[in-house]
Amino acid sequence: MNFELILNEIGENSKLLQSSPVSGGDINEAWMLQTETRKYFLKTNREESINFFHAEADGLKEIASSNAIAVPFVFKTGTIDCVPFLLMEWIEGRKTEHTETELGTKLAAMHQTFHTKFGYGSDTYMGKLPQKNGWHKNWVRYYRNERLKPQLELAIGRGHMPVPRRRSMEKLLMNLDRWLGHHPKPSLLHGDLWGGNWMTGESGNPVLIDPSVLYGDHEFEIAFTELFGGFSQAFYSSYQEAFPLSEGYEDRKPLYRLYYLLAHLNMFGESYGRAVDQIISRYA
């Protein structure tokens, strides 16, 4: 990979002093590039099209436009030697006693950035899985048709939907309005907010990374943060104070977790099947 050529594309003419591999991700290759003037974070992926990084860059810019919470600045997406890349600001810092409280408050502010419809104007990704989008006036219709149904169809194609599970899932989809009968506003959501998708910036401020943005029910986001952990009570307390969850959230939470568990079933296999079945059996 010609790092100097990538830096030249953004007008960075100072000398490249260091290029070091960065570990931690399981989808992309990543490097820290240090020049005489600053550090950059570079991601590449030989298996995906440039659309993969265009979607990420677009999501970061959408979040930035809310002026609610920090994200890395995107310098460039492109292709070098037939390899797609994404060049961003390098984020590095230490947590303070206020970082996670600030994360809750600022995420709540982002979630109070509203649209007139649910969905998004371009397609995104969940991990490596493509996600179709579109605009819907009705949240339940969006969630059923653009999120749960595509994962069901993919699971059928990949052999993860034995007949009993498939029938129960289809029954759940038919009755989804019964369980999601509240009326949320279309909030700007990160879309893939687990504990590894936020960082701490130089001043101890929270920074969101790797989004899969949409406008949807803000409870959808919070339900996922509770699925795999990584968020403190300070985060939830400050969030709840700024943007309280509606009555009945605990009843809706498993349905919102279902999408992410289906996606993990499709990405990683039957180890997630039991968790999927437990949710389906509750509502089907």
Q: What is the CATH number of domain 99-283?
A: 3.90.1200.10
pTM tops 0.85: yes
Q: From the candidates 58, 123, 177, 192, which is the catalytic residue? A: 192
Sign of CA dihedral 82, 83, 84, 88: negative
Question: d(Cα 190, Cα 38) in Å, to the nearest integer?
Answer: 27
Rounded to 5 degrees, φ, ψ at 117 are -135, 165
Q: How confident is the model at residue 99 (pLDDT cuts 50, 70, 90)?
A: very high
Position 48 scores a pLDDT of 87
Phi–psi pair at 92, nearest 5 degrees: -155, 130
Length of the chain: 284
Calculate the average pLDDT of the chain.
95
* pLDDT on residue 1: 80
Mean pLDDT across 163-183: 94
**pLDDT band, residue 21 (cuts 50/70/90):** very high
Give the rounded percent of residues in the chain with a pLDDT score beyond 70. Answer: 99
pLDDT tens for each residue of 200-258: 999 999 999 999 999 999 999 999 999 998 899 999 999 999 999 999 999 999 999 99
- Cα 70 to Cα 13, 91, 180, 256, 276: the distances in Å are 27, 10, 31, 25, 33
CATH 3.30.200.20 fits 3-89, yes or no: yes
- Give 17's DSSP letter: E
Mean pLDDT across 145-162 = 97
Asked if pLDDT for residue 137 goes beyond 90, the answer is yes
So where are the chain's domains? 3-89, 99-283
Q: What is the CA radius of gyration of the chain?
A: 20
Q: Is 36 within 8 Å of 17 (Cβ atoms)?
A: yes
Q: Which residues, other chains included, contact 173 with Cβ-Cβ below 8 Å and sequence gap of 6+?
A: 144, 148, 149, 152
One-letter amino acid at 152 equals L
* Kind plus residue range of the DSSP H or E element containing 174: helix 163-174
Q: How far apart are CA 275 and CA 27, in angstroms?
A: 24
Q: Are 199 and 94 in contact (CB under 8 A)?
A: no
Catalytic residue flag (residue 192): yes
Residue type at 184?
P
Q: DSSP letters along 184-233, please?
A: ---EEE-S---GGGEEE-TTS-EEE-S---EEE-HHHHHHHHHHH----H
Rounded distance between C-alpha atoms, residue 268 and residue 154, angstroms: 13
